[in-house]
Amino acid sequence: MNNPEPGNLLPQGRPVAFEEIEEALQNAAGETERRLAGTATLVIAGSAERLAEAAAALDQLSDIGVRTVLISYGENPEPPVRVSLHAVAVEGLCAEYLNNAVAALRLSSLPTLVWWRGGATSTLDGLAALADRLVLDAQDPTDVWAQVAALAEKTAISDLRWTRLTRWRALMAHCFDLPDVLAAASRMRSLRVEGADRHTARLFAGWIASMLRWPRGQSYEFREKAGGAPIEAVTLGDGSQELWLHLALTRSCVETSARVHGVDAVSRIVSLGDQGLAALIGEELRIRARDIAFERAVAASKGMR
């Protein structure tokens, strides 16, 4: 992988030595800005390409009131550093020094959220010990999901795939507010998920399995929709009854319908909400509590393919 030219992550920043970062941040901000920046630290770690995407997303958020630390992976033990008003970019850092860099740059007396966009899973134990919340966002989460139970003992943990599923999960859960649907739930053992991302489908299936207390080894069907949204449609049923969620033609709404004995056909359309990176990480910045439902969904999805 080719390393980008220094400054790509924070082009508006100025180069400084690592030991001069704190002084440079103080000099860059007036008293008002210092108060705003002193609410939390957002650390984003990943490859240069995925960091550039995250930095672009953060440009869409204004006045989020955090110190942002962007750290891209490389092979440099003393990588170039740039500093702007509330942000620090460390470009091409050796993975073995990642946790040390986070420990040095976070506001230790205030909450720290780490947005982990993939990399060496060996760094995660140290990151979890430093973070109040760890948000996973790997392209292939298989290996890191295997560590979720252990990581959850150290910090609150989630995944952006889980955040993307918020509306889908809420709509499915609302179906069970109907007593007859809830009564039929124990017989619903058939699940089909359609979409472009098998990992998202697996996570949703794990959530269904944990919510309905399916036995270990319960299978589900995944239908790939290449080039589509991570999830396009979900069908849960027992052969004669079903709950159905699907992405509407507008691509901005989800339509849900229920066909259950004793219940008149029910249908509703709800906005999917903003699914962009900026909106998703903005949502995560507002959460502090441990997400037991996510942990259970990951555990239940083990072995699903």
> Domain map of the chain by residue range?
14-131, 164-271
Q: What is the pLDDT of residues 190-216, one digit of tens each?
A: 999 999 999 999 999 999 999 999 988
Average of per-residue pLDDT values in the chain:
89
**Integer Cα distance of 63 and 129 in angstroms:** 27
Q: Which is more confidently placed, 36 or 11?
A: 11
The side-by-side arrangement of strands in the sheet containing 81-83 is: 14-16, 81-83, 87-94, 67-74, 41-46, 112-116, 133-136, 156-159
* Average pLDDT, integer, range 64-74: 89
pTM for the structure as a whole: 0.90
**Integer Cα distance of 119 and 122 in angstroms:** 9
